Amino acid sequence: MRNSWEKCRVTSLAILLGSLAVSGPSWSQIPIQQSEPASTEDMALKKLIPPDSVKTLTMRDAVMQALEHNIDIQVSRHTRDAQLTDIIFEQAKFDPTIQLGGRYDRTVVPLNRPVFGFGGVTAGNEPDNFDQNDTNFNLGYAQRLLMGGSYDLTFDTNRNSVAGTTGFLFNPSYGSNLSFNLTQPLLRNLGLTVNKTLITVARNAAAVEQLLLVQQVLSVIAQVEQTYWELVFARENLKVAHATLQAAEELLASNREKVKAGVLAEVEALQAQAGVASRIEQILLAQKTVEDQEDQLRRLLSQSEWDLKQTTPLVPLDVPLQLEQHFPLETQIAQAFKYRPEVLQAKKNINSSQVQTQFAKNQLLPDLSFQGGLGLAGLGNNSSDSWGRLGSTDFYNMGGGLILSYPLGNRAAKSQHQRRILETHQQQTSLLRVRQQIILDVKEAIRQINTNYKRIRTNQTSRRLSEKQLKAEQERLQLGLSTTRVVLEFQRDLQAARGQELRAILDYNQSLSRLRLVTASTLDHYRIEVQ
pLDDT mean over 9-23: 37
Distance CA 473, CA 481 (A): 9
DSSP category for residue 216? H
393: left (phi over 0), alpha (psi -120 to 50) or beta: left
Residues recorded for the chain: 531
Most confident of 40-49, 108-117, 214-223: 214-223
Distance CA 312, CA 22 (A): 9
pLDDT computed for residue 422 by the predictor:
96
Amino acid (1-letter code) at residue 123: A
pLDDT computed for residue 117 by the predictor:
55
Nearest CA to 365 out of 413, 419, 415, 416 is that of 413
Q: Please report the beta strands in 69-149, taking only residues with DSSP state E, as ranges in sequence order.
A: 97-111, 128-144
Distance CA 283, CA 290 (A): 10
pLDDT-derived band at 306, boundaries 50, 70, 90: confident
Given a contact cutoff of 8 angstroms between Cβ atoms, the answer to whether 457 and 322 are in contact is: no
pLDDT mean over 279-306: 89
Domains and CATH numbers, the chain: 2-82+202-348+427-526 (1.20.1600.10)
Q: Name the residue with higher pLDDT: 270 or 136.
A: 136
- pLDDT tens, residue by residue, 245-283: 888 888 888 888 888 888 778 888 888 888 888 888 889
pLDDT mean over 232-244: 90
Three-state secondary-structure class, residue 196: coil
pLDDT computed for residue 247 by the predictor:
85
Given a contact cutoff of 8 angstroms between Cβ atoms, the answer to whether 96 and 141 are in contact is: yes
pLDDT mean over 48-70: 79
**What phi, psi does 321 have (nearest 5°)?**
-80, 140
Any residues with CB less than 8 A from the CB of 356 and at least 6 apart, and which?
Answer: 197, 201, 420, 423
pLDDT mean over 486-503: 87
Given a contact cutoff of 8 angstroms between Cβ atoms, the answer to whether 153 and 138 are in contact is: no
**What phi, psi does 323 have (nearest 5°)?**
-75, 145
Given a contact cutoff of 8 angstroms between Cβ atoms, the answer to whether 65 and 297 are in contact is: no
Nearest CA to 200 out of 360, 348, 418, 422 is that of 348
- pLDDT tens, residue by residue, 358-370: 999 999 999 999 9
The helix (run of H) or strand (run of E) holding residue 183 is strand 173-185
Three-state secondary-structure class, residue 410: coil
Distance CA 22, CA 16 (A): 10
